[in-house]
């Protein structure tokens, strides 16, 4: 998914200037990294607020258009108001197409309802991880990684090493030798108790 963000250069600095900016429906931000100097920017608040609700916005190479000039960037930080639906500040990092990036990518789980541990054993899928940090060139960055649970049995666990990754994408934890658990199927106590009771009832009584 190609996502474009429009911004204007921001010249006024300081808390007072930022408050006035927010009062006019704008969000202060900054672009940093690469061979250029950091650039203070301002963006439309409502546009940014709704873009931040998009999963892909947090795990994609974005096109940032600043007064006619376009740059490839990553969203690196967002500051939200503690209780208001208000974006306070956003940070973008410039992307070098020749250098690998580290980025958190969401996991999309499929076939949960037909996994053997769920369908035949009455288990529940426990999502241990919902995102993973990957390393790759910008052009290879996936929006998400699919986790297929179709063969997962009750009591078994799926690990990072079991995931099917897009080409040229590595999981940072695996590079360090940390094969973390991703998902497991657990049997609820109520199901186990019911099975135990059923077995007791089926046992023949001694005369």
Structure tokens at 203: 């046992």
Taking the model in full, what pTM does it have?
0.81
pLDDT tens readout for residues 124-146: 999 999 999 999 999 999 999 99
Q: What is the dihedral of CA 95, 100, 105, 111, to 10 degrees?
A: 130
**Residue with the two structure tokens 């590079």:** 175
Residues 6+ apart with CB under 8 A from 194: none
pLDDT tens readout for residues 42-55: 999 999 999 999 99
- Cα–Cα distance list, 96 to 29, 39, 101, 170 (Å): 20, 17, 9, 18
Q: Parallel, antiparallel, or unpaired for β 69-80 and 62-66?
A: antiparallel
Neighbours of 137 (CB within 10 A): 15
């Amino acid at each position: 998914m190609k996502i474009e963000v429009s911004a204007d250069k921001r010249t006024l600095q300081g808390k007072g200037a930022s408050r006035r900016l927010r009062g006019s429906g704008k969000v202060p931000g900054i672009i940093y990294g690469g061979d250029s100097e950091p650039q203070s920017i301002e963006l439309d608040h409502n546009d940014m607020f709704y873009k931040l609700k998009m999963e892909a916005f947090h795990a994609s190479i974005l096109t940032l258009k600043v007064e006619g000039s376009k740059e490839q960037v990553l969203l690196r930080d967002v500051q939200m108001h503690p209780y208001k639906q208000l974006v306070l500040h956003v940070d973008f990092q410039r992307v070098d197409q020749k250098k690998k990036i580290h980025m958190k990518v969401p996991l999309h789980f499929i076939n949960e309802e037909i996994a053997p541990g769920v369908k035949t054993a009455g288990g529940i899928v426990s999502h241990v991880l919902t995102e993973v940090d990957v390393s790759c060139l910008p052009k290879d960055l996936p929006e998400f990684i699919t986790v297929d649970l179709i063969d997962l049995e009750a009591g078994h666990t799926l690990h990072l090493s079991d995931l099917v990754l897009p080409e040229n994408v590595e999981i940072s934890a695996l590079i360090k030798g940390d094969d973390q658990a991703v998902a497991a199927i657990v049997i609820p106590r109520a199901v186990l108790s019911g099975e135990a009771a059923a077995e007791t009832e089926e046992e023949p009584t001694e005369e």
